Amino acid sequence: MAVPAPVVAAVLCAGAAAWLLGGDGRPVGRARLLLAGSGPTVPARGSPWERLVVSVRVHAGRWPEVACLAAGLVVALLGRSLIPLVLGVLAVPVVRRWLRVRERVRAREARAAAVIALCGAAVAELRAGAQPGQALGAAMRRTAVPGAEEAAVLAAAAFGGDVAGALREAAREPGAEGLAGMAACWRVSVDGGAGLAAGLDRLEGALRAERDRQDSLRAQLAGARSTAVVLALLPLVGLLIGTGLGADPLRVLLHTPLGMGCLLVGGVLEVLGLLWCRRIVRAGEG
């Protein structure tokens, strides 16, 4: 007795979802250990409702991946074919990589903003009469740069170490490049006796101007990104229109050789178009 395709699709989707939420096949306990410190973990004890709420909070950032599986399952059930489900499963690693890239971009922007705030806080401490080491330590405790080697900088500032070297090491983090400018200001003020507050003030203005320029450029490129997204969604609109007219495009695309060929060619052209638009936007940002 043959197993219906929708049942097979549901089983495959459930397995893929379990693999996704379980952490790529690794034990859930290890995933909880990895998540410690980066968010809430699922408690070992407590009511089922509390565990469900915490689990949803833990996996809230993965909703695009789950959406790929859900969309693949829905289309597979509607079209009575496993092809959409397979495509949905294959899209999960792509979406996961996109989420990681977006998280790295957010972390870089957060570090850049923290460096600007650090310069301003250090200038305020210096102008209030604090010594350079004390001013830097107080400023770093008020505005910690995410991911930077804060402990090394604080130790160097507190015990008379190589503060400029520690700042240069911390500047290697993406987004914390402004700390290299702070290291240069510190070196000039120590060797040449120049005013550290004035140098940091000018550095803060330069970093803030650079951030404003990037924000302006990003706003100008938002129209190009929106156009690319709209053009990428047009094939889906065409499928919806065809379904509304009674043409049954899913049956043609998923159950006929000509339709499968069109689906393959259309998918390749869609990916190439998105990559081309991405290249254009990145060239504009550069």
* pLDDT tens across the length of the chain (286 residues): 444 544 454 555 555 554 544 444 443 343 333 333 344 444 555 566 665 555 555 555 577 778 888 888 888 888 888 888 888 888 888 888 988 988 998 999 999 999 999 999 999 998 888 888 888 888 888 887 776 677 888 888 888 788 888 888 888 888 889 999 999 988 888 766 568 888 999 999 999 999 999 889 888 888 888 888 888 888 889 888 988 888 888 888 888 999 899 989 998 998 898 888 888 888 877 6
Q: What is the pLDDT of residue 143?
A: 82
Helices (H), 36-128: 48-58, 63-79, 83-127
Structure-block tokens of residue 89 = 């499963």
Q: What is the pLDDT of residue 18?
A: 47
Q: Output the pTM of the full model.
A: 0.70
Helices (H), the chain: 5-21, 28-35, 48-58, 63-79, 83-127, 132-142, 150-159, 163-170, 178-192, 196-244, 249-255, 257-285
**Residues 143, 209 contacting (CB under 8 angstroms):** no
CA distances from 218 to 102, 104, 155, 221, 235 (A): 14, 17, 38, 5, 27
Q: What is the pLDDT of residue 58?
A: 54
Distance CA 190, CA 148 (A): 23
Distance CA 107, CA 147 (A): 9
Q: How many residues does the chain have?
A: 286
pLDDT digits (tens, 9 = 90+) for 129-142: 888 888 888 888 88
Query: CB neighbours (10 Å) of residue 255?
Result: 14
What are the residue ranges spanned by the domains of the chain? 108-210
Distance CA 197, CA 185 (A): 9
Q: What is the pLDDT of residue 23?
A: 46
